[in-house]
Homo-oligomer: A and B are copies of this chain.
């Protein structure tokens, strides 16, 4: 038996006047998904709790059975997982920007002219050793564009430190301070302040920046950390649920969450994270994994609908949902010996242009579900289904139960 959790990122929405009071999902023509709703059991889900607005990261943590209020210590660790740093419990991780600092130490461009290709700068920064803290290992890794990750590894560190990011241009980097007054936080704050200073010394005259100056581009001459988080100790998904799990996703954030959970990551060609993504690659990868791999649990995240929500693109959201139905769902609907969960991680309503705390619809299709009388997959229809209103933290337990993987609690 195999299980698939297919997350349409940000698919949930609110009723729209332009759609006669329907949501984009309600208004979309999704015959394949609707057939699965009809053959399955339906409900609504609050990824975290009713009304709580989830991030994609905290929502996926919850859906994978982790309590985000416990394990989500900050953005840093999940960014680090996302870009593939091999972090270990106890590491303190940060998000960073390459920024532009002038000779007076003022940040003139927080994104260093949206610099790309920072690999050589990262290599240089990875030589950094602080004289005052020679025992602390300093690890940089580049992410997309001007973004990077910083990981500190060593004894006596803390994530209770403030951000160096001044948030606005025209100011110097903020002095990092200990938030709880502990010696560990004091030490970590001191390290960060030295790293900001030293990064400027190390890369201000780097050939890349000489070259950028010649082209009239802002230098990427300082690194500014924020979003401290301590890497938590958790049980890996495969151990916790006795599965062999894999992740099929197109964004670093979701890949990071899945790496955190110890899942295998399946690469795909041509996926973009937008509505122009390669849905055929999703379809083929899922089918290949179901038919030809030893993985028995797949987490799939398709990002496009969330992007359209953030951009307020109603028509594009509706059409992308229809495309997924046509290209992906059409091939999943007849899979046998598979429990398929179709849901979203959160709503990203067109009217809000951001995530919201409205619950999302969920359907489960598979050999032994208690089929209800819902005939259409939507936020409004699913409410009357056999699942009722559940939470993200219920999803893995429900799936493991249906797959007969779960163990009895008691006698």
When distances are taken between beta carbons in the complex, the residues of chain B under 8 Å from A183 are none
Residue of B nearest to A384 (CB): B384
A75 close to chain B: CB less than 8 A: yes
Selecting from A54-62, A292-300, A315-323, the interface stretch reads: A54-62
By the criterion CB–CB under 8 Å, are A411 and B14 in contact?
Answer: no
When distances are taken between beta carbons in the complex, the residues of chain B under 8 Å from A408 are 53-55, 354-355
> A372-B380, A372-B383 are contacts. A55–B397 as well, Cβ < 8 Å?
no
Q: How many copies of this kind of chain does the complex include?
A: 2
Q: What band does the interface of chain A fall in when counting residues whose beta carbon is under 8 Å from B?
A: 35 or more
Query: Which residues A370-385 have CB closer than 8 A to chain B?
Result: 370-372, 379-380, 383-385
Residue of B nearest to A409 (CB): B58
Cα distance A399–B356 in the bound complex, in angstroms: 12
Cα distance A390–B52 in the bound complex, in angstroms: 13
A27 close to chain B: CB less than 8 A: no
When distances are taken between beta carbons in the complex, the residues of chain B under 8 Å from A55 are 408-411
When distances are taken between beta carbons in the complex, the residues of chain B under 8 Å from A370 are 14-15, 23, 358, 379-380
> A15-B368, A386-B383, A390-B50 are contacts. A57–B406 as well, Cβ < 8 Å?
no
Contacts A49-B394, A349-B368 known; 14 new A-B pairs at CB < 8 A? A21-B371, A51-B394, A51-B400, A51-B406, A52-B401, A53-B409, A54-B409, A55-B410, A55-B411, A56-B410, A57-B411, A78-B411, A356-B404, A357-B401
